[in-house]
A and B are shown apart, each in its own frame.
Chain A
């Protein structure tokens, strides 16, 4: 197997480990990359109970059927992306287990399992001003009444497409973004966060 140190995250060139040393306290925003998370895209029929139970059997998580919601069965999370599309996330490396398990579980059923782990990275935006920061680039209503913990949405952020997921009350938003856009998004977020004070952190 290939040496893990050869694996490079989308933002490795930003030198985040060095930046973390100088992280300021009391920052209104903390930015970090959460790289290599396993991400498996699922396509199938929500009306097909067999499909839903096949996912449950293989991934151990219920697929959310309400738009823009998520289901979590630690360490696996299922995010609703569309009426026939979900994203299953899990810790790094789990895609090597999840993809074959889901494919086997579906058998001849018309459903698609697509490994997108390498396509994307996750930037976490945390802190008291996280909503204010995202509001600079996102037209959605991210107020807790409209976008509670556990909500997710595929939307535009700045000038890129992104998947937003509110994971805790801090609040912490996880922004899943195509790898090639990660540097742009990072620079954009760090600049837009300046007025709140920004700290960079490694995970």
Chain B
């Protein structure tokens, strides 16, 4: 394919590097330095998409972030990305893109029939039509989405790598046009840490698009020198292809850097994109301005562009996007496009809304003999697709009507300039308030926020001279505010665009009433016309926020960058209120869409959340044991032998612990070291029972309550010295318990002399349970006497096991004779293996969390968080025995005296036995007294724990049941979706009711 619109010379593209790409299945060629949009225009491809609602033919409108029309589906498979702005896609070899919102093809789109029905698709069409009945919305929505969708999301995993990182700096400069570069220079020269970001591949902003001179040389010479100096400053980081997408509190800015997009994705370890969270001491916004389209009849045909875009395509990309051009403008900047086109050999007519045009570029055009029609309007456009002509007419003096007859001008390119809107998005996101400037017909920043500086067009200071002087000043001020000495820099002399008076007409007049014979588009992406806005007002909408939502203006992925100001000006005219009184809608992040993958980065798969490993993790992995998540820990669930089901494995493990020896890795149990003379006072506060008389070397079980009297943790605490205690907590409750005690110590009892330290990971804890436990351990220790007299239940001894220094606790979560051996964590596996080897003759059996749960449920021992849920008191659990009546106070005590916590009919923990002994009730099953054919039924409570117990020889369950203790002996029902199970209420314990097994 030839690039018929490519100019033989000029531009910033590299003609030695041609790049092939596919668009809608056809092969084209562009050059390095092109965007997809400039490459398409070089090949004279204007028609690139269908509009959202009417499926009208649309072409490239702009040259940057503002683009509402040229949204393409980029790439295929897992890499595919919807709604990519062709104006911001850097061209690369092999790029594949296609149009969106058309079927079966762009040219033969069936949805275009909507255009014929446009009379029945007015503003608010969806709201009016699909309102009733409300339950039908789900049905409607599916069809609407199919008909009016944009691009398609990827269906496959994204193969690219994404990174995210935090960064700090003294001065962040957003925008590398002349103002931003000047600011970065001024700040960088002071030694401050500076980050300069720009969303484009090449830095320079308007210097790349407009002809201008600085210090008597082409502006690009100054640009090259300035960028060279910036790159030489060690503390200056320059990030091209990086969009500042969000401005958050305290100068936190979100950046998205496109590292590999222009190479087609990530490459090895180099990511496709990097998300930066920047915390800047000072921010300089030099974000420039965006040109506004003009609103005239059928202003949306392919070939009608923003004037500044036409100028950019000529000067930066060496593309003259047509052979015969018409520029319609209300200001002097539109002449830049006219002069650029003329320089490229394109014949141009300028339609100037002003009756007496002025301005330096206007003068140049006039001097060159360009046809200029002052005081004229474009009444309508022609073409079936690509624009083929315009009708121009003289306007009345007030610009509200036309006089005389129209003249048709044949053309294939139209540029429009409705003035400039400062790019105040980031400023507004930061909380800045806008002020309407009548002369500029634009909203400009209205106040200066602390830590923030503005320079150039974003302030409404148009022109190269203002950009440079304000840029240097802002950069210096920012550096000074960050604590650096910034020397005054000489501001270079400039020659280039300078502002001149403009004329604003928000809707161009025509010989026909608005909306007749053509559509005057305001929002190109969402297909909102001037007539739609006026209709909304007639229907009673006044607030800009309501009109926005009703008409959907400004609600596309472009967030109305080209449409918002036109829309609210038309609204203001229609309701007869001044523009400032109408106000603007809210600017929200992101400035342009950000790939979700960049937010996720590597927080995926195994790195989504930390996996915490116990000392026996690798051993369990090798024997093929599956793991269970307990908080972030992986705990061994059960240890299946070859071919064994989970049920069989758990039954075997549970039996072994009651007939010989079971062994379990309990290292995840929370452990807190408590030291200090007031340690016992703290224990008396946080536990419900009394701790004053615990002897050194003895252990005690305790329950912890929150302020509401609800159980929130339990565990065994051991006194290991005069003022020294070793507390254990539940696995998942460990951080919460430590934080809870620290909070009370720091906020309520700062005078207590107690230090708390987590020692969870200092000790590997191996539980050894079963009738042969004592025999086995006695074979592995010489310095710990294990007889009952010297080492009774609920006590601790220090010594060595298998030669490893150990603290051995005689405590039991199984009800069996049981020891928990604590050794230094790095010896945890060595201890485990020593026990396994020495225990072979006892058929020692490793067990996992499932068997542990069955064993404790047989005994009726609770698991906090499983049998309790934050609404359960000790009384509800039948554990009043552990609540001290004598202690003057403890945390939660007062709440236990409330009428509600003293009710008899609270939910109590009880046991449930099924009629069929081999059937286990699913955990969570609802228990009802009276069965009905279908819900609702009165629910009495639910099953908290349920297992098959081989030791009891039947299934067992624990449940929280309303007034449960009074129901013991009653028959109730577990109501399940597919069946009901008849159950009998029992005491919540099922095995070894006398409690003698713990003695061995």
Taking the complex as formed, is B498 at the interface, i.e. its CB lies under 8 A from any CB of chain A? no
CB distance from A189 to the nearest CB of B (A): 11
Q: Mark A1-30, 1 if CB is under 8 A from B, else 0.
A: 111001111100100000000000000000
Instruction: Give Cα A178–Cα B762 distance, bound, in whole angstroms.
Output: 9
Contact present for A135 and B762 (CB under 8 Å): no
Q: Which of B270, B761, B800 contacts A178 (CB 8 A)?
A: B761
B678 nearest CB neighbor, chain A only: A110
* Contact A118 B761, CB 8 Å, known A2-B830, A110-B676, A196-B269: yes
In angstroms, Cα B602 to Cα A27, docked, is 21
Residues of B within 8 A of A193 (CB): 269
Please tell me if the beta carbons of A2 and B602 are within 8 angstroms of each other in the complex. no
CA distance A160 to B603 in the complex (A): 13
Q: Which of B804-836 contact A (CB under 8 A)?
A: 804-805, 824-830
Residues facing A in B598-629 (CB within 8 A) are: 601-603, 606-607, 609-615, 618
A72 proximity list for chain B (CB < 8 A): none
Q: How far is the CB of B255 from chain A (nearest CB, A)?
A: 13
B382 on interface, CB distance cutoff 8 Å: no
Chain B count of residues within 8 A CB distance of the other chain: 53
Residue pair B269, A8 in contact (C-beta under 8 Å): no
| Given A2-B830, A8-B830, A112-B757: A195 and B803 interface contact (C-beta under 8 Å) | no
Partner of A114, one of B633, B757, B824: B757
Kindly identify which residue among B164, B168, B611 contacts A184, using a CB–CB cutoff of 8 Å.
Answer: B611
Q: Are A179 and B825 in contact (CB-based, < 8 A)? A: yes
Whether A183 and B602, one on each chain, are in contact in the complex, defined by CB atoms closer than 8 angstroms, is no
Q: Are B611 and A183 in contact (CB under 8 A)?
A: yes
Residue pair A141, B611 in contact (C-beta under 8 Å): no
Q: Is the CB of A110 within 8 A of B753?
A: yes
Complex CA distance for A7 and B804, rounded to whole angstroms: 10
How close is B438's CB to chain A, nearest CB, in angstroms?
44
**Bound CA span A36–B166, Å:** 31
Cβ of B680 to closest chain A Cβ, rounded Å: 14
Q: Is A43 in the interface zone, CB < 8 Å from B? A: yes
Please state if B830 and A180 are interface contacts (CB–CB under 8 Å). Answer: no
Among residues 133 to 147 in chain A, which have CB atoms less than 8 Å away from a CB atom of chain B?
A: 135-136, 138-141, 143, 145-146
Partner of A118, one of B607, B609, B675, B826: B826
Q: Is B268 an interface residue (CB 8 A)?
A: yes
Contact with B along A156-188 (1 / 0, CB 8 A): 001110000000000000000011111111011
Q: Is the CB of A116 within 8 A of B762?
A: yes
Q: Is A68 an interface residue (CB 8 A)?
A: no
Does residue B503 face the partner (Cβ distance < 8 Å to A)?
no
Question: Bound state CA distance, A135 and B255, in angstroms?
Answer: 14
A194 at the interface (CB under 8 A from B): yes
How distant is A139 from chain B, measured CB to nearest CB, in Å? 5
Q: Is B493 an interface residue (CB 8 A)?
A: no
CB–CB B165/A115 < 8 A: no
Interfacial chain B residues near A196, Cβ < 8 Å: 269
Asked whether any CB of chain B lies closer than 8 Å to the CB of A34, the reply is no
Q: Does A191 contact B (CB under 8 A)?
A: yes
Q: Categorize the interface residue count of chain A.
A: 35 or more
Residue of B164, B673, B753, B762 with highest tally of chain A CB at under 10 A: B762
Partner among B611, B763, B803 whose Cβ is within 8 Å of the Cβ of A2: B803
A132 B165 Cβ-Cβ under 8 A: yes
A155 to chain B, nearest CB (A): 11
Contact: B755 with A180, CB < 8 Å? no
Looking at chain B's contact residues, is the secondary structure mostly helix, strand, loop, or mixed? Answer: mixed
> Which residues of chain A (77-133) have a CB below 8 Å from chain B?
110, 112, 114-120, 132
**Chain A residue contacts of B827, Cβ below 8 A:** 2, 6-8
Cα separation A9 to B530 with both chains bound (whole Å): 72
Q: B602's contact among A3, A13, A191, by CB below 8 Å, is which?
A: A191
Q: Is the CB of A180 within 8 A of B757?
A: no
Whether A194 contacts B269 by the Cβ 8 Å rule is: yes
Residue B167 at the A interface, CB < 8 A?
Answer: yes
- Which of A36, A43, A159, A178 is close to B755, meaning CB atoms less than 8 Å apart? A43
Name the residue on B nearest A9 (C-beta): B826
Chain A residue contacts of B523, Cβ below 8 A: none
B610 partner residues in chain A, CB cutoff 8 A: 158-160, 181, 184-185
**A46 lies within 8 A of chain B by Cβ:** no
A41 interface residue (CB < 8 Å to B)? yes
**Contact yes or no, B618 A159, CB < 8 A:** no
Q: Is A76 close to B, CB under 8 A?
A: no
Point out the residues of chain A lying under 8 angstroms from B606, CB to CB.
187
Q: Which residues of A contact B964 (CB under 8 A)?
A: none
Q: What is the minimal beta-carbon distance from B478 to any residue of chain A, in angstroms?
A: 17
Q: How far is the CA of A182 from the CA of B606 in the complex (A)?
A: 14
Q: Which residues of A contact B55 (CB under 8 A)?
A: none
Pick the contact of A180: B164, B633, B804, B829 (CB < 8 A): B633
Measured CB to CB, the nearest residue on chain A to B760 is A119
The answer on a CB contact under 8 Å between A187 and B607 is yes
Whole-angstrom distance from the CB of A195 to the nearest CB of chain B? 4
The complex places the Cα of A135 from the Cα of B759 at a distance, in Å, of 29
Q: Are A135 and B826 in contact, CB atoms less than 8 angstroms apart?
A: no
Tell me the smallest distance from the CB of B213 to a CB of chain A, in Å: 39
A135 & B612 in contact (Cβ 8 Å cutoff): no
CA of A45 to CA of B612, assembled, Å: 34
| Closest CB in chain B relative to A40 CB, distance in Å | 11
Q: Which residue of A lies closest to B757 (CB)?
A: A114
The interface bits of chain B over 741-766 (1 if a CB of A lies within 8 angstroms of the residue's CB, else 0) are 00000000000010101111111000
B277 within 8 A of A: yes
Pair A145/B193 contact, Cβ less than 8 Å: yes
Q: B268 contacts which chain A residues (CB < 8 A)?
A: 194-195
CB distance from A45 to the nearest CB of B (A): 10
Interchain CB contact (< 8 A) of A7 among B193, B758, B830: B830
A192 interface contact, C-beta 8 A: yes
Cβ contact of B163, chosen from A158, A188, A192, cutoff 8 A: A192
Q: Is the CB of B759 within 8 A of A180?
A: no
Q: List 29 A-B contacts (CB under 8 A).
A: A2-B802, A6-B830, A7-B827, A8-B615, A8-B828, A9-B826, A114-B675, A116-B757, A116-B762, A117-B824, A119-B758, A119-B825, A120-B761, A135-B165, A135-B166, A136-B164, A136-B166, A145-B193, A158-B610, A159-B610, A180-B612, A182-B613, A184-B611, A185-B610, A187-B606, A192-B602, A195-B269, A195-B270, A195-B271
Question: Which 6 interchain pairs have the tightest Cβ spacing?
Answer: A194-B269, A6-B830, A180-B612, A141-B168, A195-B269, A112-B755
Known: A41-B757, A179-B825. 16 other contacts (CB 8 A): A6-B804, A8-B826, A43-B675, A112-B757, A118-B762, A132-B165, A136-B601, A139-B277, A141-B168, A143-B193, A159-B610, A184-B607, A184-B611, A184-B612, A194-B161, A195-B268
